[in-house]
Amino acid sequence: MDRIRIRGGNALVGTIPISGAKNAALPLMIAALLTDDTLTLENVPHLADVEQLIRILGNHGVDYTVSGKRLVQNPAQGRTIHFTARTIVDTTAPYELVSKMRASFWVIGPLLARMHKARVSLPGGCAIGTRPVNLFIDGLRALGATIDIDGGYVVAEAKGGLVGGRYSFPKVSVGATHVMLMAASLARGETVIENAACEPEVVDLADCLNAMGARISGAGTPTITIQGVTALSGARHRVLPDRIETGTYAIAAAMAGGDVTIAGTRAGLLPVALDVLRQAGAEVTELEDSIRIRRNGGDILPVDVVTDPFPGFPTDLQAQFMALMTRSSGVSSITETIFENRFMHVQELARLGARISLSGQVAKVEGVKRLAGAPVMATDLRASVSLVIAGLVAEGETTVNRVYHLDRGFERLEEKLVACGAEVERISG
């Protein structure tokens, strides 16, 4: 099993290119199930989750071809993948596939919309909370679907097709908003979604669906209206930059110090996170298609944050920010409001010398003058990269085990850091 070894102490200087967003690419790929034409997606990242979803889509009959970069080429340029679901050969998404990645559950929306039935295993994914699927089920029921749970599978049917309706989410859910957008695009009549997620990835999916012939308005606001159409066509769409990767490298630059330009991204994708970094003492310069992060000699200042849906501070940057706060000049507070079990990285950061205390969903982080390298264990995708960030400043050597979590969401992380002067290497086996 691969590990990543980091020797801390080097400032980061250089340019880091940002890949296409995993959290946008996955629903965009699933949208290919809505049409028998070809959906072409540009800027698709090389990630384990993308490859897993390709296998899941293949189980339903989706063919794909890849053009663009190969692994040995420039990591700044993503792949172009052509997806064609000419014929849906199977409306069942089996446990052995869905259990490996939660987002694969989202196929229930387009399968139900196009084929009027779906049988999808209850999902898996990172162990960061229960994340129940009741929001998905209730939303699809509002569109006329009948849904039962049978033997660990969600069995859905819409005889005669889905029908437009109104649904208000009791809690903001990005995944459930994705599913409702896809399902309602082929429903008869008008659908209104209230308390919808406003994340950029939702807007990206809506833009792609509109290019395919959908009639969606209001994406990016809490109220989205969809006028159903009888069929969708193919389209060509570019996956937006990964805002979580952007924020991760911005935090890494603030942690290690130096001068890093994060290229191929937009500051508007994470305004609150960048403001928090400024409060923490980093110099942030927003350019048209890049962000420059500098910290040369100044202290890391303590900042209190609360995770919230977009445009708030992203839960997917909470672990990385906690790593930064371990070296602050005071005490900071981090409150997690999205997931109930997303502090598993605390014990591993403590192995490096961090001082963190937990009370329910609040972590108090007392900054220390030094961290010391040690073997640590990745517990989920974002927690794993927080350990890499801590390792960048830890004295001596830090080894992060179980880095398959990293490969799910970060494309060639060690190469991007090494290009800016970090001592990071992957150890196979």
Q: What is the DSSP string of 398-415?
A: EEEE-THHHHHH-TTHHH
Interatomic CA distance for residues 375 and 4, integer angstroms: 10
Does 338 count as an annotated binding residue? Answer: yes
Neighbours of 304 (CB within 10 A): 15
Does 174 count as an annotated binding residue? Answer: yes
Instruction: State the pLDDT at residue 1.
Output: 80
Nearest to 128 by CA among 259, 308, 315, 265: 315
Check pLDDT > 70 for residue 131. no
Interatomic CA distance for residues 88 and 205, integer angstroms: 21
Interatomic CA distance for residues 60 and 141, integer angstroms: 23
Per the prediction, the chain carries an average pLDDT of 93
Instruction: State the pLDDT at residue 405.
Output: 82
Q: Residue 85: which pLDDT band, with cuts at 50, 70 and 90?
A: very high
Instruction: State the pLDDT at residue 339.
Output: 73
The structural domains of the chain, ordered by start, are 3-18+241-427 (3.65.10.10), 22-238 (3.65.10.10)
Check pLDDT > 60 for residue 128. no
Check pLDDT > 80 for residue 69. no
* DSSP-assigned letter for residue 306: E
220-268 pLDDT, tens digit per residue, is 999 999 999 999 999 999 999 999 999 999 999 999 999 999 999 999 9
- The strand order across the sheet containing 283-286 reads 12-17, 258-263, 290-295, 283-286
Interatomic CA distance for residues 321 and 185, integer angstroms: 37
Interatomic CA distance for residues 37 and 85, integer angstroms: 7
Does 22 count as an annotated binding residue? Answer: yes
Check pLDDT > 60 for residue 72. no
Does 171 count as an annotated binding residue? Answer: yes
* DSSP-assigned letter for residue 10: P
Interatomic CA distance for residues 422 and 401, integer angstroms: 18
Average pLDDT over residues 102-122: 95
Decide: residue 50, CB within 10 A, 0-12 exposed, 13-18 middle, 19+ buried: buried
Average pLDDT over residues 278-300: 96
Average pLDDT over residues 355-362: 95
301-343 pLDDT, tens digit per residue, is 999 999 999 999 999 999 999 999 999 999 999 999 987 667 8
> Which is it for the CA torsion 176, 179, 181, 186, positive or negative?
negative
Does 23 count as an annotated binding residue? Answer: yes
Residue 329, both tokens: 């000049």
198 included as an active-site residue:
no
152-188 pLDDT, tens digit per residue, is 899 999 999 999 999 999 999 999 999 999 999 999 9
Strands 79-84 and 38-44, by their bridges, are antiparallel
